[in-house]
Amino acid sequence: MSRNADLVARYGSPLYVYDLDRVTAARDALLSSLPENFKLFFSFKANPHPEIARALRGDGERGCLAEISSTGELTAALEAGFHGSQILYTGPGKTYEELRTAIRAGVASFSVESPTDLRHVGEVATEHGVEVDCLLRVNSATSSAATSIRMTGTPSQFGIDSETLPELMPELSAVPGTRLAGAHLFSLSNAKDEESLVGEFRHTISVAAGIQRETGLPIRLLDIGGGFAAPYLSPGERPAYPNLRAELEVILDEHFPGWREGVPEIACESGRHLVGDSGELLCTVVNVKESRGRKFVILDAGINTLGGMSGLGRLLPVSVRLDDDALPEGADPGELEVATLAGPLCTPGDLLGKNVRLPVLKAGDVVSIPNAGAYGMTASLLMFLGRPAPAEVITRGGEVVSASRVEFVRKYS
């Protein structure tokens, strides 16, 4: 039996398999592409599995901090061994209840997205007799040349419009329970290449320096966001950033001359790049049928398992790999046919790929969807149509070290 068929036989199908060796390899590669004293936040949104987060945190070695934005992610971060002081809480809609839970757990840094968000954080901090650090998330009035030159930024639920900061600063500086500690800018995801990544950071860092100059915002920590890329649901390698470190050093020397001494401290964030290539989704062909001359391959995994994001046009088409040793006797592993890849749900929206090139498949075949470690299970419509969540297996050194399954339970009050 192939390794994948064996895993499915033991843990069920569909099944996510994450390799912790790849997680730590991605972390170490990214840390070494950044200046030595940079902090790196892992964005739990990409994959909140506590074992993955624990591997990224590292024990004693140089590791990641946690960037979270819900009570569920807080629970995962604490389970992964993060201390409250290692957590940055972000998000445009933090509720009082969430803030209370976070502050009670010792979270002491928040990225705030509006003056009212800052006041809410302050109210809850005051309620608990503490003062917390707040980074102002800034929605810059200009975008970088790498994307397009716009003299006014776009309206957004994220961040405070940079042009309003000078006027707001007296009010923002005087919110009881809070201490303004820096700026947070996040304007790019999944940069297409190293050059656009560097261009975006150059823009972000100069915007932050301008804000400090023009508003007097104290910047002890500057979080310059991310944009580190990763392949998603198709074959490909995690990109390397050989020039990033030197480029960032030059840019920071120009705008924040004290940064090498930690004035300010600089941080960036990553989700997909750290975990994307660590995971694959194994699933099983349930049925193959033809309809009016078109072939449909129906899997036991659909938008309930992978790709709730497909509605956003971010998913299609996925690529599917079949184990060589699962191929029928004498079949050519390179033989491909065009088919539509459908999930099991009773909605025409449950498509993973339309007219994509696939190996020749039959019911019972176990297939693998690569690079599914980020924005996989928890970015999906998990409860839609009531199938159980897929199992998740964690491996290290080729051995399974944990297997689990998320369950949904209705509790009556």
Ligand X SMILES: *Cc1c(COP(=O)(O)O)cnc(C)c1O
Q: How many of the other CB atoms lie within 10 Å of CB of 196?
A: 17
Q: Does 277 bind ligand X (CB under 6 A)?
A: no
Binding residues for ligand X restricted to 131-160, rule: CB under 6 A: none
- Which neighbouring-strand residues pair with 133? 109, 179
Q: Over the Cα atoms of the chain, what is R_g?
A: 23
Closer by beta carbon to ligand X, 269 or else 392 = 269
Closer by beta carbon to ligand X, 22 or else 45 = 45
Among 13, 33, 43, 378, interactor with ligand X by CB under 6 A: 43
Taking the complex as a whole, how short is the minimal distance between the CB of residue 315 and ligand X, in angstroms?
15
- Which neighbouring-strand residues pair with 280? 17
Q: How many residues bind to ligand X according to rule CB under 6 A?
A: 15
For residue 63, what are the CA distances in angstroms to 31, 194, 259, 272? Answer: 8, 23, 20, 16
Closer by beta carbon to ligand X, 11 or else 232 = 232
How far, in Å, CA of 50 to CA of 54, rounded?
6
Check if the beta carbon of residue 12 is closer than 8 Å to that of residue 281.
no
Q: Does 226 bind ligand X (CB under 6 A)?
A: yes
Closer by beta carbon to ligand X, 156 or else 355 = 156
How far, in Å, CA of 41 to CA of 89, rounded?
11
- For residue 322, give the 3-state DSSP assignment: strand
Closer by beta carbon to ligand X, 46 or else 352 = 46
* Closest alpha carbon to 381 in 325, 306, 292: 306
Stretch of residues binding ligand X (CB under 6 A), selected from 42-50, 121-129, 148-156, 288-296: 42-50
Q: Which residues contact 131 (CB under 8 A, 6 or more apart)?
A: 125, 177, 178, 179
Closer by beta carbon to ligand X, 237 or else 335 = 237
Check if the beta carbon of residue 7 is closer than 8 Å to that of residue 15.
yes
Stretch of residues binding ligand X (CB under 6 A), selected from 113-121, 245-253, 265-273, 383-391: 265-273
Among 46, 56, 102, 361, interactor with ligand X by CB under 6 A: 46
How far, in Å, CA of 253 to CA of 263, rounded?
11
Taking the complex as a whole, how short is the minimal distance between the CB of residue 378 and ligand X, in angstroms?
12
Stretch of residues binding ligand X (CB under 6 A), selected from 122-130, 172-180, 185-193, 277-285: 185-193
**To which H or E segment does residue 10 belong?**
helix 3-11
Question: Letter for the amino acid at 121?
Answer: V
Check if the beta carbon of residue 18 is closer than 8 Å to that of residue 52.
yes
Stretch of residues binding ligand X (CB under 6 A), selected from 40-48, 214-222, 312-320, 385-393: 40-48
Taking the complex as a whole, how short is the minimal distance between the CB of residue 174 and ligand X, in angstroms?
26
Q: Does 270 bind ligand X (CB under 6 A)?
A: yes
Stretch of residues binding ligand X (CB under 6 A), selected from 29-37, 39-47, 146-154, 331-339: 39-47
Residue window 83-102: x/- pattern of binding to ligand X, with contact defined by CB under 6 A: -------x------------
Closer by beta carbon to ligand X, 41 or else 259 = 41
Among 2, 75, 126, 189, interactor with ligand X by CB under 6 A: 189
Q: Does 186 bind ligand X (CB under 6 A)?
A: yes
Closer by beta carbon to ligand X, 159 or else 177 = 159
The residue sitting closest to ligand X, measured at its beta carbon, is 271
Among 19, 51, 113, 269, interactor with ligand X by CB under 6 A: 269
How far, in Å, CA of 215 to CA of 4, rounded?
57
Q: Which residues contact 169 (CB under 8 A, 6 or more apart)?
A: 215, 216, 217
Taking the complex as a whole, how short is the minimal distance between the CB of residue 351 and ligand X, in angstroms?
24
Q: Does 45 bind ligand X (CB under 6 A)?
A: yes
Phi, psi of 193 (to 5 degrees): -160, 175
How far, in Å, CA of 238 to CA of 278, rounded?
10
- According to DSSP, residue 253 is labeled H
Q: Does 182 bind ligand X (CB under 6 A)?
A: no
> Exposure of 385 by Cβ count < 10 A (0-12 exposed, 13-18 middle, 19+ buried)?
middle
Among 5, 217, 272, 370, interactor with ligand X by CB under 6 A: 272
Closer by beta carbon to ligand X, 226 or else 317 = 226
Closer by beta carbon to ligand X, 90 or else 368 = 90
For residue 377, what are the CA distances in angstroms to 344, 383, 387? Answer: 16, 11, 13
| Binding residues for ligand X (CB under 6 A) | 43, 45-46, 67, 90, 186, 189-190, 226, 228, 269-273
